[in-house]
Amino acid sequence: MAKNHFTVVRNQGYGGGEFNTRERHNERKNESYHNGDVILDRAHLNVYCHQNFHADGTPETYEESYKRLLVDGKISEKWLKPDSKIFAELVFDVNSEYFENHGGYDYAKSFFDEAYRLAVKEVGGEDFILSAVLHADERNKVLSENLGRDVYHFHLHIVYVPVVEKREYFRQKKGEPESERKLKTVYTQVSHAKKWPLRVLVERDGKTIIVNSYSLL
């Protein structure tokens, strides 16, 4: 029987103090890694689906991209608590054997390019993506030993700002119907909790059920 392979999507939120840690790992800025399977000599094979740059052509850091969105008014930290999660990371992962059976590196690039387009829709647009990079430099030790040659574990890291549309209305006047309240402002609020609520109502097979929003990925 043929083995079934599945795409696994992990979604993790982070606080503002964690920009540098995630960036150093994803962008291969560390000189060494606890994961001994990272082969830095292959880092040039990592592929960017998205990267932000300064006007002079140098890459922005994750924190610089985030602050630019704030300054440009594309996101708002209104109502955020000091310990709120202000950025997040999606990791798309598939068993290495799947890519070995379908063309290896070139196929992985095509596969994760499609996964990136899906992520853009989930995030709400490329404006909110700080970085998206396909890692092709991590050796799969077990599969390499089984096959007698080096096999690499392809996976995609997408760092983004979780946002929702927030509508604020003027205070309701006495006797004024709720439906007639005037809209005061609309803004894009940074909120990991509202982007990924624990309880979401969905329709399945004619029934309304409650699921965790992560499961919808």
How high is the pLDDT of residue 86?
97
Residue stretches of the chain with pLDDT short of 70: 1-3, 33-36, 175, 214-217
| Other Cβ atoms closer than 10 A to 137 | 19
How high is the pLDDT of residue 217?
67
pTM of the model: 0.87
Beta-bridged to residue 208, according to DSSP, are 203
How high is the pLDDT of residue 171?
80
Domains of the chain are: 8-164 (3.30.930.30)
How high is the pLDDT of residue 181?
77
How high is the pLDDT of residue 174?
73
How high is the pLDDT of residue 2?
58
d(CA 132, CA 134): 7
From residue 37, give the alpha-carbon distance in Å to each of 8, 140, 160, 201: 20, 7, 26, 41
